[in-house]
Amino acid sequence: MVNHRYLGTSDIARVCQVTAVTVGNWIRTGKLKASRVPGGNYRVTTADLAHFLQDAGMVVPSALISEQPRVLIICDEPAATGRFGSILADIGGRWHIDTACDCLTAGAKVVQIEPDLVILRLPMAGMDPQVCEQICQTSAWARCKLLVILTTGEPAETAEAKQIGADRCLGKDFTANEFRSAVLELLFEGALPPEDFQRTSQKDH
């Protein structure tokens, strides 16, 4: 989700509403990671700038985020689905959140919305292995990040998560902070989403 283009010191000064001298000081003191190009000018990736702003307690401008994150929650427990959505809302930001409570609906929505992040709670009733295999073979599934919530911690459950390509797994007793950190790591490489996002959602019918 983070745009990896490079910014010069004047670009950063404009985005952060500070002077180029201030940006140069951030770089020279090692607070802001940067590289030099032929000619001696500094270049900073938007990802590194977002990390710096987060660490400094500053707002990450919306210009550093390429687009609205699309999240698909696959879960057959309404209470758990609600908790996932609430934590996302607490992060702040504008989210496109969709849900699916069965395997067939999940497969259709993966293709339809091409999510950036899938949150999958295992085990899930009616999880047809053949349908799961078909979902895993789609290009949309290959592009998204997968966060699996393991509710029992049984070896078979962990094996299933690995088989379907989990990028991160959380146990049933995960905290809101652990969930939040996993989402930020997978979607934004640790950078906070911009403060002016407003959460939107589409409910599964």
Pick the last residue of a domain from 21, 40, 64. 64
Pick the last residue of a domain from 64, 82, 103. 64
> Domain check: are 102 and 22 in the same one?
no
- Domains: count for the chain: 2
Range of the domain at 11: 6-64
Distances (CA, A) of 99 to 5, 51, 55: 32, 30, 32
Residues 6+ apart with CB under 8 A from 187: 1, 69, 116, 117, 145, 193
> Domain check: are 116 and 179 in the same one?
yes
The CA distance from 85 to 81, in Å, is 6
Q: Note whether residue 185 is domain-resident.
A: yes
> Domain check: are 165 and 193 in the same one?
yes
The CA distance from 104 to 32, in Å, is 46
Q: Note whether residue 142 is domain-resident.
A: yes
This prediction's pTM: 0.63
Q: Note whether residue 154 is domain-resident.
A: yes
User: What type of residue is 145?
Assistant: K
> Domain check: are 74 and 44 in the same one?
no
Each of the 205 residues of the chain gets a pLDDT tens digit; together they read 444 467 889 888 888 889 999 999 999 999 999 988 877 889 888 778 877 887 887 777 766 655 568 899 999 999 999 999 999 887 766 678 999 998 889 989 998 888 889 999 988 876 776 777 778 888 888 888 999 999 887 888 888 888 888 999 999 899 998 998 888 888 766 444 444 343 333 444 3
DSSP 53: H
Pick the last residue of a domain from 26, 47, 64. 64
CATH number of the domain bearing residue 41: 1.10.1660.10
